[in-house]
Chains A and B, each alone.
Chain A
Amino acid sequence: MIRLAIKSLMNRRASVVLTVIAIAVSVTLLLAVERVREQVQSHFANTVSGTDLIIGARTGQTQLLLSSVFHIGSMTNNMSWESFVDISERPEVSWAIPMSLGDSVQGLPVVATTNAYFEHFKYGDKQALEFSQGSAFASDEEVVLGADAAEKLSKIIDDEIIIAHGSGGISFSEHEEHPLTVTGVLKRTGTPVDQAVLVTLHSLDMIHSGEHEHSEHDHHNEAPAESISAALLGLKAKPLALRLQRQINTYDKEPLTALLPGMTLQELWKTLRVFEQALTAISAMVVLIGLLGMLTIMLASLRERRREMAVLRAVGAGPGTIFGLLLSEALVLTVVGAFSGLLLLYGLQWSLAGVIQSQTGLIFNTTWPSISEWWRIALVITAGFMLSLIPAWRAYRQSLADGLTVKI
C-alpha cells in the first residue's frame, strides 16, 4: 500500500514537493530554535569557569556580568584601584584579575589587565589560556591578541597596532602616537577572549592621558590605574563566596556590586525564558501551518481522485484500504518533510557555521540529533498523522457512497 501511495504521490509531484518543502522548512525552524538556545547557553556557561566572584562599581548584576566577561555593553562607573587592592588582599581571596574595558580596535574590545589574566583566567572545563605564538606582555608597550583578533587585524607577533579611545567600530579620536607591539597570540578558546585585544592597565592609562597632551602624569605611580571597570576573583574556598559577596555589596568606602557568575547566568536565563518560549511557540505554529497546508492539498485532491478510489474498490479494496492509503500518503509526506527538515538544518549549520562564528563567536557543534530533537520530530509526524485522519475519513465515506459509480 505504501508503494501505491508513493506512486500516487509521484503523480502529483508539484503539490507534493511544495507540501514537503513547507513541512521541511517548518521543522528546520522548530529544531533550529532549540539548537540555538542550547548552544548559546552552553557557550555562555563555558565562557567563564573557576571565577568565584566578579566585582565592579554599583550596577546591575547582569550588566556587570555581560560587560566584564562577554564584552557586551559597557560599564558606566568604575571602581577605584584602592578598593580593588583592598578587596584582593583579603585573606580569603586567592587571586584577582583587574580589568579596564570600554575601548576598541576596529570593533574588537580592548581589555586592559595584568599578567594575572593569563595566569588565572579559566574557561570551558577549567582550561587555562594558552599562547599559540609568543608570550604574555612584559611591558606597557606590548599587546596580546585573541585568536580571532589576530586574524581580523591580520597581525602576527612583533607587528604594531594602534589603540583608540572609545567603544564600537567607529572611533572619533585615534591616536597614532601609541603604537603597541604584539608580543603574543592566544590559542582559540571559542569564547569572547578570542576577540579581545589585551593590554596592560598602565598602557591603557597612557592612551587615555595621551588625549590630554601628556599632562603631568606620574608614570611611575605605584598604582597602574586610578580605577578599573571590573575584577574577577578566585577564592581559596568556594563557600566563602556568598559571605564575601555580601561584604562587597555593603562596602562602605564606595558603592560596589559583587556577583556569583553561575547564579547570575541562571537569572539571565530566567529572564530570557519567556522570549525562548515565544520563539518555540511561533515555530510550533509554523509547523502547524505546514501541516495544514498538507491537509488542504489532500482534501482538495480527494474530489479529483474519486475515479482512482472507484478503480481501487473495483479490484477489491475495501473502504478501510482507501482510508489506509490516505494515511500512508500523509505519513510519507510528513516523514519525508521532517527528515528533509533535519537535513536542511544540518546543511544550514554546516554552511553558516563560519559566518555565525565570526559574527557572534558562537561555535555550533555538528552533533547527532538529541533525544529532545527526536521527540520534536516524532511530535510533528504524529501531528501530521492525526490531521490526515480527516481526509482519510472523508475518503472512506466518499468511497462508501460512490462505490463503483462515480458521477463527476
Chain B
Amino acid sequence: MHAVSIENLLFSWAGQRPTLDIPGWQIKQGETVLLRGPSGSGKSTLLSLLAGINTPQSGSLNLFETAFSNLSGRQRDRYRADNIGYIFQQFNLLPYLSALDNALLACQFSKKRRQRIAEQGSSAEATATEMLQRLGLNSTQIEQPAHTLSVGQQQRVAAARALLGAPKLLIADEPTSALDAEHRDTFIQLLLELSSQNNTTVIFVTHDAALSSYFDQHVELNTLNQAGAQS
C-alpha cells in the first residue's frame, strides 16, 4: 500500500503561476523519506497539501488509498487529527500547557488516537509519560509549562505529541534546524525509532543533505516539481 500517491498534481496560489507541478510521486507505507529542497522550491506548499490545509487545483493526492484531495475541509481536519503527526521547525508547543498536556494535545482532538492507545491496553497519560521519558525528559520536566523547556526538549515534546496514538504518517518540517549537531542526531534516531514501532511513514524535510543516511529514500524536491523547470 502507498502511504502517499501523487498524480499530475497542480497547485498555484491565487492569481499566481503554479507553485507545484508534480507528475507523479509515491511513498510506500512505513518508508522514511528525506525531502530536500532549497527555500522557495515549494516545500511549504507541498507540506500544506500533504497536511490537508490546502487542496490541489487538479490532479490527485491520495493518502493510504484515501482520495485525500477530494475530502471536504472538515474531513481533512479530521483525517489529519487521526492519522497525521506534524512537527514544526520550532514553536511547536502551547506555552501555557505542561509538556505532558502538550504531548496529549493531538489525542484530545482525535478519538481514533485514543482508541489505538486503548487497544494496546494503556491510557493516553501513561503512554505519553513513558514516551517523554524515553525521549529524555525527567518527571519534573514533564509537569513543567512548555515555555520553561529548552529548544531541544521542546522539539522532543513535539515529537511525542506527533507520534502519540500511532498516526500513519509523520510530517516533520525541518525539526532539527534549531538543534546543534549532537542533539540533532539523537533526535532523529529517537524519532525514527519511535516511528518504526508503529510502522509510521515519515516525511522529513530538511535542507541538510548530510542526514540522508538515516532515511530509506532521499528525494530532491526540484526533481519532483516541474513548476520550477518550466520557468
Could you list which residues of chain A lie within 8 angstroms of chain B, going by C-beta atoms? 4, 7-8, 10-11, 307-308, 310-321, 403-405
Q: Closest CB-CB distance, B101 to chain A, in whole Å?
A: 8
Q: What chain A residues lie within 8 Å of B96 (beta carbons)?
A: 7-8, 10-11
Taking the closest CB of chain B, its distance from the CB of A240, in whole angstroms, is: 76
Complex: how many Å from CA A313 to CA B51? 10
What chain A residues lie within 8 Å of B68 (beta carbons)? none
Q: How far is the CA of A320 from the CA of B74 in the complex (A)?
A: 9
**A314 and B86 contact, CB distance less than 8 A:** yes
Q: A404-B88, A405-B48 are in contact. List 11 more A-B contacts (CB 8 A).
A: A7-B96, A311-B94, A314-B51, A315-B105, A315-B109, A316-B109, A317-B81, A319-B73, A321-B109, A404-B86, A404-B173
| Residue B95 is within 8 A (CB to CB) of chain A in the complex | yes
A317-B107 Cα distance, complex, nearest whole Å: 11
Give the residues in chain A near B94, CB-CB below 8 Å: 7-8, 308, 311-312
A7 partner residues in chain B, CB cutoff 8 A: 94, 96-97, 101
Give the residues in chain B near A320, CB-CB below 8 Å. Answer: 74
Chain A, interface SS category: helix
The 8 A CB mask of B59-91 against A (1 = contact, 0 = none) is 000000000000001100110111000101001
Q: Given A403-B54, A404-B51, A405-B48, are A311 and B81 neighbors across the interface (CB < 8 Å)?
A: no
CB distance from A13 to the nearest CB of B (A): 10
A7 to B108, CA, bound (A): 15
- Check B161–A315 contact: CB distance below 8 A: yes
Query: Contact at A405–B97, with CB atoms within 8 Å?
Result: no
B interface residues (Cβ-Cβ under 8 A, vs A): 44, 47-48, 51, 53-54, 73-74, 77-78, 80-82, 86, 88, 91-97, 101, 105-106, 108-110, 161, 173
Out of A8, A311, A313, name the residue touching B53 (CB < 8 Å). A313
Q: Is the CB of B86 within 8 A of A315?
A: yes
> Shortest distance in angstroms between A407's beta carbon and chain B's nearest beta carbon?
10
When the two chains form their complex, are residues B48 and A404 in contact, meaning their CB atoms are under 8 A apart? Answer: yes
How far, in whole Å, are A310 and B97 apart by their CA atoms in the complex?
A: 15
**In the complex, A313→B78 CA distance in Å?**
10
C-alpha spacing A402/B47, complex, angstroms? 13
- Please state if A405 and B110 are interface contacts (CB–CB under 8 Å): no
- Contact pick for A403, options B53, B97, B161, CB 8 Å: B53
Chain A to chain B contacts (Cβ below 8 Å), 28 pairs = A4-B108, A7-B96, A7-B101, A8-B94, A307-B91, A308-B94, A311-B91, A311-B92, A311-B93, A311-B94, A311-B105, A313-B53, A315-B105, A315-B106, A315-B161, A316-B80, A316-B81, A317-B109, A318-B77, A319-B73, A320-B74, A321-B77, A321-B109, A403-B54, A404-B47, A404-B51, A404-B53, A405-B44
Knowing A318-B73, A404-B51, the reply to whether A11 touches B95 (Cβ < 8 A) is yes
Min CB distance B90 to A, Å, is: 10
Question: Contact at A316–B92, with CB atoms within 8 Å?
Answer: no
Q: Which residues of B contact A11 (CB under 8 A)?
A: 95-96
B106 lies within 8 A of A316 (CB): yes
- Among all A-B residue pairs, the 4 with the closest Cβ atoms: A316-B81, A11-B96, A403-B53, A318-B77
Min CB–CB distance B115 → chain A (angstroms): 15
A403 contact set on B, CB distance < 8 A: 48, 51, 53-54
Residues of A within 8 A of B91 (CB): 307, 311
Say yes or no: A317 contacts B93, CB within 8 Å.
no
Most buried by B among A10, A313, A314, A321: A314
| Residues in chain A near residue B110, CB distance under 8 A | 316
The residues of B that contact A10 with a CB separation of less than 8 Å are: 96
CB-CB < 8 A to B108: which residues of A?
A: 4, 315
Cα–Cα distance between A310 and B92 once the two chains are bound (Å): 9
Return B158 CB to nearest CB of chain A, in Å.
Answer: 9
Question: Given the complex of chains A and B, what is the CA–CA distance between A307 and B94 in angstroms?
Answer: 9
Least CB distance, B229 to chain A, in whole angstroms: 24
